[in-house]
Structure 1
Amino acid sequence: MHKKKLKHTVNKAKEQSTMKKKNQNGKSKSIHDILPLDLIHIILLRVPIRHLARLRCVSKLWCSVVSDPDFAELHFHHSPAATNACFFMKNDTMADLVYLDDNDASQKEVCPPFQKKLPSNFSVAGSCRGFILFHRDPHFLVVWKPLTGSSKRISYSHIVHRSQHHGRRIPYGVYFHGFGYDASQDDYLLLVAWSDWKGQYHLDCFSLRTNSWINLDVAVPKLFFYYWHNGGLFFNGAVHWVPSVLMDYRDGIVIFDLKEMTFSTISAPEQLSRSCPSLALLGGCLTLSSPNNDFRNTDIWVMKENKVHSSWTLYRIPCKDFRPLCLSSNRDIIGSGYTSCGKTGYFIYNVRGDLLKHFKNLRCQLPSREPNIVYTVSLLPLPSDIKVKNNKKKMKKEIGIIDHGLASCGPGLWCSFEV
């Protein structure tokens, strides 16, 4: 499938490119005669995302390759090193993106797309393939791409009205959200679970491809509404939630499969502390972490084989409240927290529990507050961006002024490319 996409992208770039280069004799020579486009494509796929913005300016051909949605998909899956950032809200209007790797770290202040005339009260509800989902009680969600600044607002006031009885609001705690990607439909889905005034549970789903809501006819687990973590973790085609306090290890993790549209559960390790567990992804494996009962260490349980209970593997980190975020290139654990010695911030530990590095000069959201999420930077567009881009191309072709590559980008898609 990916080979077909590569061939399709290369052919498209060849058709679009009009880049010519003069040789010493003054004759026009194609850039393909100097460097084959297939080789250019392979090289660009290996370039870290933070450098691709500048490379777009090399030529219209390169801009055309990098701007193509198929290239974005291939780069997301095959780039040697993903650019991961820890995202957290600093206050009502500003947020921080913290980029971490083995040797260095940097921090960037960003302004999410909140309207100043509205009360802020936004919370982070999830992250998926380069996009962050925000929720604002009680009426709408915002999908935002920090890389470009583009965003999409989705109202669900119809759900709020359906949950009321004679104007009485149902408490905020009944709403839970999920954000994921259905590869079978090439669609991003937003989930809202809620309870009506009769105490009946419902799950609504918004499709970004069709720009519409649908009430899913599924049996929503009642225990789902005892879950404290508002946003779910997207992994392996499904959204995962974990409660603030484990009541039953057999139903420790609730899963909603975005393709099959069904709920299921995964058993947590019996030795996991019941207090404040959190979910993460480490090296493509589902991970549960929780403060140890001794209040000096954090237990990190990694599921080496998906949905195989016997594959839970324990790593103990000597940090009393540690939240794993991602793995370094050396397979060491990068996370945030604070130690018994009073150190706060971002740390790198190896799997034996040895502290390898402490990033001292970075602002850190303490785990006891709104949890950090890991945002993976990507070039991927939302389906609505692709539609707008194609409509603009069609319009320009009709009036005969299409510019190959540089003028074919949709609104917000490339206006502010900076990492």
Structure 2
Amino acid sequence: MKIETQVLPQDLITEILLRSPVKSLVRFKAVCKFWRFLISDPHFAILHFELATPKPMFTNFHESIFTMDLDAPLDSDPLSEKIKIDFLPPIYYCTEFLGSCRGFILFECYHRCDNPDRPLYLWNPATRVHKTIPPSPLYGPPSPIYYDFYPRRYSEYSRFYHVFGFGYDSSKDDYLVVKLSIRPLFPNRDFALVQFFSLRANMWENIEFTDSPCLDLSKERRPGLLFNGILHWLVYDKDKSMNVIIAFDLMEKTLFEIPPPDNIALDHSSCNLWGHSSFLSLSLVGSDTIDIFVMKEYKLQSSWTKTHVLSFSGIPCPDQLGPDQLGPLCSTKSGDIVVDYDSGVLVKYNAKGEQLRVWEDRFLRVSRVPMYTESILSLPGVSEQS
């Protein structure tokens, strides 16, 4: 009997591969030369990333890492198989996520004999590609003026608060690890220092903003929100005696302020920044509701619009919730909103603010949850065998 082999058109093969998980694509490279060439093409990697669905990433008390399928059927387990960080020494015992961008996770690990100069790590959980980011260098000694007025605090120079962020500079095809710090300039006045590690240059660089607001970073422990190629933090402005939104443009390397909605007091205990659909969004927590604001036109204060009021009455969560513990986590492609309650409880709401589903897992640690999108993208200067 004659057997005929049916050959699929190359365009159809490409469409199927674009919707395949990364774990399968890595294996598919061995099928034939065409598949290997196609999957290794940077343009294919970008298209694959754009079609992938973002998922929240969690750790539990045993330091296992999972992702969650927010659109999983009600009768299925939404958690993925355990993802292991297999390149760290066993002496590390706690992982803190500091950012996520284009399939890569920025995190730091605490050591049983910890020190402030611990390194950071970039990691692609799907391909296992990783890179160690060295600690940022000390920014020289304080100025003589500072030392003359505060000689006792000279040894405490490196103990000032800082916040991190991670993003992508599309103009240079470069990934940046960003560290925002406050440094002394002269008595009773500080200035902002932005240090960023360029993956392409493989080095840290410094930018001083001596005309920046006088900021207090002691309350902001959340990573910078990456939105529209810009990192955002909610910090306290000591000159204005209020919280403000500070942003750092990864392409222009500029630091600026985003105006909040009129007549809204931003408070770390009740406010969160996040991205809702294609808009910068702000959530304000009340006694039993969460108000959602979106900025319809970026940087335009008058474009802030309240879009949702979400109720969390009846949800099993602690009586006292901190800033890292309550707030919207993400919005799905269908417009649903997922709220993180940091007590092992996540709740999905539809566009009308109605509760659709409650996930509860008391073993999950859900603070500092990054949104992770699986990708086969590469890092500049880092091989796939890393």
Q: TM-score, normalised by structure 2?
A: 0.77
* Residue 345 (structure 2) pairs with residue 375 (structure 1): no
Equivalent residue, structure 2, for 1:143: 122
Equivalent residue, structure 2, for 1:193: 180
Amino acid at match of 2:310: I
Within 5 Å, give how 1:240-389 maps onto structure 2.
Answer: 240-243=232-235, 252-269=244-261, 270-271=263-264, 274=267, 275-292=269-286, 295-314=287-306, 315-319=308-312, 322-337=326-341, 345-360=345-360, 363-365=363-365, 370-385=367-382, 388=383
* Residue 65 (structure 2) pairs with residue 95 (structure 1): yes
State the alpha-carbon separation in 1 of the partners of residues 81 and 265 from structure 2. 35
State the alpha-carbon separation in 2 of the partners of residues 215 and 153 from structure 1. 19
Within 5 Å, give how 1:1-16 maps onto structure 2.
Answer: none
Equivalent residue, structure 2, for 1:67: 40
Structure number having the greater strand percentage? 2
Equivalent residue, structure 2, for 1:18: none
CA shift for structure 1 position 273:
5.6
CA shift for structure 1 position 189:
0.8
Q: TM-score, normalised by structure 1?
A: 0.71
Structure number having the greater helix percentage? 1
Contact kept, 8 Å, 1:282 with 1:325, in 2: the verdict is no
CA shift for structure 1 position 233:
1.2
* Residue 123 (structure 2) pairs with residue 152 (structure 1): no
State the alpha-carbon separation in 2 of the partners of residues 195 and 306 from structure 1. 26
Secondary structure of the 1:66 match is helix
State the alpha-carbon separation in 2 of the partners of residues 356 and 272 from structure 1. 30
Within 5 Å, give how 1:217-228 maps onto structure 2.
Answer: 217-219=208-210, 220-223=212-215, 225-228=217-220
Q: Which runs of 5+ in 1 are unaligned?
A: 1-22, 389-409, 413-419
RMSD between aligned alpha carbons? 3.6
Amino acid at match of 1:151: H
Equivalent residue, structure 2, for 1:411: 385
Q: Which runs of 5+ in 2 are unaligned?
A: 110-115, 314-320
Cα distance change, pair 337–61 in 1 and its aligned pair in 2 (3 A): same
CA shift for structure 1 position 327:
2.2
* Residue 132 (structure 2) pairs with residue 127 (structure 1): no
Deviation string, structure 1 residues 197-247 (Cα, Å, up to 9, x no partner): 765542211110111111224445432635513411111111111138999
Cα distance change, pair 348–247 in 1 and its aligned pair in 2 (3 A): farther
Cα distance change, pair 362–50 in 1 and its aligned pair in 2 (3 A): farther
State the alpha-carbon separation in 1 of the partners of residues 237 and 193 from structure 2. 23
* Residue 201 (structure 2) pairs with residue 210 (structure 1): yes
State the alpha-carbon separation in 2 of the partners of residues 378 and 125 from structure 1. 18
Cα distance change, pair 276–38 in 1 and its aligned pair in 2 (3 A): same
Percentage identity across paired residues of the two chains: 32
Deviation string, structure 1 residues 338-389 (Cα, Å, up to 9, x no partner): 7xxxx952221123221111234585435xxx3322112222111123xx4x
State the alpha-carbon separation in 2 of the partners of residues 162 and 151 from structure 1. 33
